[in-house]
């Protein structure tokens, strides 16, 4: 209980959160009703029962289906505001949020609708809850680089409100190098670059994310540990890894939290952070991720503080913010 209070009270920054993955079943039902959309579930319990995954693709199939209830600017606002209200209780002070524009434009919801509702909630979270945030637009890697370029074009009027680009969705078979040109274009426009790599994909994908995409931050990165030279490089470069323990458990990246590599990462000198990824689907927000990992790996108070601090120092905020926060 002492550890619980300690973890709960720490200020936190979340750096790996897909806003569409924070859609709780209750809100899914409410939005389905508001928008007269049929969903293949009869109850909230049925939805939760469907959240049993053997791998990333299992999850993605249900994640893309879930977001089909999001249609209007207000829907995106309500989704995003619900996330901020929830993590306010977890002492989250700053969040760098992913969204998947192609998950919406593909089903006829405009880029502008999705981003404007999300941004309005981000403004509200700043004024009402004191939580600062940024938006990172992800390209779906199972789609083509040409599609990613079209998405970057749609983002053009919004670039002053977009911090960076990311890369998510099905990793295996879609290596980072597939997106080398669109990331170069994004970087030219002054956008930060991040990518999911080494969640299911091999260490070579992490190397590609570094060398081809020139990422500023690595999302997941678990499988980097299979490659000692790569670990050394990540440590030397001071690369931040946005690790998501309950996600890794839910998607069978690890069989048991006690086998989670987070402690090994810290021991190897990697700047690891703890994040929730898709909290509605993976069974926990920030405090749950911190607490369950701390218990499973028997983390010390120092290690827990380091993880929370790494969230701030790994953010894209300026140095003053990074040190003031904790
Ligand atoms: N991995 C890849 N794509 C995703 C994830 C993830 O953890 N969450 C949402 N899209
Ligand atoms: Zn993710």
Summarize pLDDT for 301-324 with one digit per residue, the tens: 999 999 999 999 999 998 888 877
- Both tokens of 244, joined, read 């998501």
- Residue-level pLDDT at 325: 67
Cα separation, 316 vs 192, whole angstroms? 8
Which residue numbers in the chain have pLDDT < 70?
325-326
> How far is the centre of ligand 2, averaged over its atoms, from the C-alpha of 58 (Å)?
14
Asked if 26 is an active-site residue, the reply is no
Find out whether the beta carbon of 313 lies less than 6 Å from any atom of ligand 1.
no
Annotated binding site for substrate: 278
Contact 311, 274 (CB under 8 A): yes
ipTM for the complex?
0.96
Annotated binding site for Zn(2+): 16, 18, 196, 277
Find out whether the beta carbon of 103 lies less than 6 Å from any atom of ligand 1.
no
- Both tokens of 141, joined, read 């890697």
> How far is the centre of ligand 2, averaged over its atoms, from the C-alpha of 2 (Å)?
30
- Residue-level pLDDT at 208: 98
Nearest to 140 by CA among 191, 104, 90: 104
> How far is the centre of ligand 2, averaged over its atoms, from the C-alpha of 251 (Å)?
11
Helices 301-313, 2-9: inter-axial angle, 10-degree rounding: 10
The residue whose CB lies within 8 Å of the most ligand 1 atoms, and thus the one to mutate among 57, 278, 280, 289, is 278
| Enclosing H/E stretch for 55 | none
- Residue-level pLDDT at 322: 83
For 98, the 3-state DSSP assignment is strand
| Enclosing H/E stretch for 122 | helix 111-124
* Residues at Cβ < 5 Å from ligand 2 ion: 277
Find out whether the beta carbon of 199 lies less than 6 Å from any atom of ligand 1.
yes
Cα separation, 191 vs 259, whole angstroms? 35
CATH of the domain at 273: 3.20.20.140
Find out whether the beta carbon of 280 lies less than 6 Å from any atom of ligand 1.
no
Full 3-state SS string of 58-72: HHHHHHHHHHHHCCC
Find out whether the beta carbon of 192 lies less than 6 Å from any atom of ligand 1.
no
> How far is the centre of ligand 1, averaged over its atoms, from the C-alpha of 156 (Å)?
24
Give the ligand with the smallest distance to the CA of 171.
1
- Residue-level pLDDT at 215: 98
- Residue-level pLDDT at 139: 99
Q: Of how many residues is the chain composed? A: 326
> How far is the centre of ligand 2, averaged over its atoms, from the C-alpha of 320 (Å)?
27
Domain residue limits at 141: 2-324
> Which of these is catalytic: 24, 96, 171, 199?
199
The residue whose CB lies within 8 Å of the most ligand 1 atoms, and thus the one to mutate among 63, 98, 136, is 63
What is the reported pTM?
0.98
Based on the number of CB atoms within 10 Å of its own CB, is 118 exposed (0-12), middle (13-18) or buried (19 or more)? buried
| Enclosing H/E stretch for 164 | strand 164-168
Give the ligand with the smallest distance to the CA of 247.
1
Find out whether the beta carbon of 196 lies less than 6 Å from any atom of ligand 1.
yes
Expressed in angstroms, the distance from the first to the final Cα of the chain is 22
Indicate the number of domains in the chain.
Answer: 1
């Amino acid at each position: 209980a002492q550890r619980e209070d300690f973890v709960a009270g720490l200020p936190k920054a979340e750096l790996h959160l897909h806003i569409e993955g924070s859609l709780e079943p209750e809100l899914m039902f409410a939005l389905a009703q508001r928008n007269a959309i049929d969903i293949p579930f009869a109850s909230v319990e049925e939805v939760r029962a469907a959240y049993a995954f053997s791998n990333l693709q299992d999850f993605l199939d249900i994640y893309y289906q879930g977001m089909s209830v999001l249609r209007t600017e207000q829907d995106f606002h309500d989704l995003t505001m619900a996330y901020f209200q929830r993590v306010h209780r977890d002492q989250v002070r700053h969040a760098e949020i992913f969204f998947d524009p192609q998950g919406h434009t593909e089903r006829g919801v405009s880029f502008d609708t999705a981003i404007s509702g999300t941004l309005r909630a981000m403004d509200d979270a700043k004024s009402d809850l004191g939580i600062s945030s940024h938006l990172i637009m992800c390209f779906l890697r199972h789609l083509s680089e040409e599609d990613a370029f079209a998405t970057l074009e749609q983002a053009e009027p919004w670039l002053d409100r977009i911090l960076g680009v990311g890369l998510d969705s099905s990793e295996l078979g879609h290596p980072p190098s597939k997106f080398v040109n669109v990331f170069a274009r994004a970087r030219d426009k002054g956008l930060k670059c991040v990518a999911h790599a080494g969640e299911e994909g091999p260490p070579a994908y992490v190397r590609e994310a570094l060398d081809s995409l020139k990422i500023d931050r690595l999302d997941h990165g678990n499988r980097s540990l299979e490659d000692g030279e790569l670990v050394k490089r990540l440590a030397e470069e001071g690369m931040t890894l946005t690790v998501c323990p309950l996600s890794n458990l839910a998607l069978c990246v690890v069989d048991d939290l006690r086998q989670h590599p987070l402690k090994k990462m810290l021991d190897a000198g990697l700047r690891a952070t703890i994040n929730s990824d898709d909290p509605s689907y993976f069974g926990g927000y920030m405090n749950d991720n911190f607490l369950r990992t701390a218990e499973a790996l028997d983390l010390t108070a120092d290690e827990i503080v380091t993880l929370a601090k790494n969230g701030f120092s790994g953010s894209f905020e300026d140095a003053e913010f990074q040190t003031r926060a904790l």
